[in-house]
Amino acid sequence: MSKKVVIAFEGIEGSGKTFHINYVSNYLEKKKIDHIKLREPGGSKNSEKIRKLILNKKSNFNKNTDLLLYLSSRSENIEYIKKFYKKKIILLDRFTDSTIAYQHYGMGVNLTILKKINNYLLKNFKVDFTFLYIVNKKNMKKRLQQRKSLNRYDKFNDKFYKKVQNGFLKIAKEKKRVYQIIDSNLSIKLNKKIIINKLNKIIK
Ligand code: TMP
């Protein structure tokens, strides 16, 4: 029997988290270990509608509206996620740390209000473990160039992404929760090995 943990995958654009969450999900599937995988913003049906609105290239919401939209997307997801809490492994492609890193550290939104609404939505739900992906400027740009289409949040300047990445690292340092930092500039093969080793320890 595996432990029914909640694992978040966090990091800036081009840091490889989505690639690795898919790899982990396939690995669990092969082992016939029950799990769900969800992205944020998006994931559930209503949340995907909100995702389209936030990330549309033509949208130009202010930072507070963005915060409320990301939290609205979470509000729609959390109901769904909670059904599986402690029943299945839950893999999250971004969660609360992204809101703190992008909206607070990146855009300067007030942290108290962000945490208040976020905690109100989450109640006693918590993430057990986080893989935090870091990437350098050169590799991030290279990976973004390979994308077929870029959304509104793929187009900020380097300074912004640096602030966000440093924000993620600050959160990881402050929190008591367990983090594993993955250096996405290293080889995929090596990182896959590190992640699966860690995963097996977490779910044992
Ligand atoms: P994705 O490219 O990983 O799918 O994420 C979409 C964008 O949404 C990404 O640039 C990060 C951003 N985001 C926030 O700014 N705040 C949040 O709370 C979340 C979940 C994502």
CATH code at position 77: 3.40.50.300
**DSSP E strands: which ranges in 66-153?**
89-93, 129-134
Take atom 1 of ligand 1 and give the residue whose Cα is closest: 13
Q: Which residues pair with 131 in a beta bridge?
A: 9, 180
Structural contact between residues 20 and 195, judged by C-beta atoms closer than 8 angstroms: yes
188 alpha carbon to ligand 1 midpoint, in Å?
A: 22
Tell me the pLDDT of the chain (204 aa) as tens digits: 899 999 999 999 999 999 999 999 999 999 999 999 999 999 999 999 999 999 999 999 999 999 999 999 999 999 999 999 999 999 999 999 999 999 999 999 999 999 999 999 999 999 999 999 999 999 999 999 998 899 999 989 999 999 999 999 999 998 766 899 999 999 999 999 999 999 999 999
* Residue closest to 152 by CA, chosen among 39, 65, 52: 52
Distance of CA 120 to the CA centre of its chain: 19
Residue 201 lies in a domain: no
Ligand 1, atom 7, lies closest to the CA of: 153
> Domain containing 110: what range?
32-186
d(CA 9, CA 25): 12
Contacts of 63 (CB under 8 A, 6+ apart): 103, 107, 108, 109
Residue 176 maps to a domain: yes
Nearest-atom number in ligand 1 for the CA of 153 is 10
> What are residue 134's DSSP bridge partners?
183
pLDDT of residue 1: 83
Domain presence at residue 153: yes
Cα 189 to ligand 1 centre (Å): 26
Q: Which residues does a 6 A CB cutoff place in the pocket of ligand 1? A: 13, 39-41, 55, 70, 94, 98-99, 102-103, 153
> pTM of the full predicted structure?
0.97
**What's the number of domains the chain is made of?**
1
158 CA from centroid of ligand 1 (Å)? 16
Residue 50 lies in a domain: yes
Ligand 1: atom nearest CA of 73 is 20
Q: Give the pLDDT of residue 89.
A: 98
Residue 13 CA, ligand 1 centroid: distance in Å: 8
Tell me what pLDDT residue 176 has.
67
| Rounded-to-integer distance, Cα 8 and Cα 57, Å | 26
User: Has residue 196 been placed in a domain?
Assistant: no
Q: How far apart are the CA of 102 and the centre of ligand 1, in A?
A: 8
Q: Are strands 35-39 and 6-11 parallel, antiparallel or unpaired?
A: unpaired
